[in-house]
Amino acid sequence: MANARGSKETTAHSGSKRRLKLWFAFIALFMAWAIYTWVMQMEDNARTALRLAGVQQKLAEGEKESARLQQQIDRLGDPEYIRELARKEQDMIVPGEKPIHVTEKAE
């Protein structure tokens, strides 16, 4: 009877070891999957951060251009600025004013 009892304990003990090994293998596979997922998410996060920085830069440039154009629109409402543009770009003069044209001396 002692032999039969001893062999049952060895069988039960080896079954426990097998279950424990399977459990550790499962945990190791789960941890490997979790680490892989975490690394991939970190890479995606880095790529998204780069895209966000690019979009924010474009937005800042667009806002700067919008501010410049709004300033130009505001200036176009000023009669003095329109007069200045007419003189510079269209060579217009105010009535009663004598234009002066500078020419280079030919040698």
Q: Given this model, what pLDDT does residue 33 score?
A: 98
Q: How many domains does the chain have?
A: 1
Tell me, what's the pLDDT at 41? 98
Can you give the residue range of the structural domain that contains 71? 2-90
In a domain, 100, yes or no: no
Asked if residue 81 belongs to a domain, the reply is: yes
Per-10-residue mean pLDDT of the chain, 107 residues long, equals: 54 84 97 98 98 98 97 90 86 81 79
| The pLDDT of residue 53 | 97
3-state secondary structure (DSSP) of residue 92: coil
pLDDT at 1: 46
Predicted pLDDT at 83: 86
User: Is 97 a member of any domain?
Assistant: no
106 in any annotated domain:
no
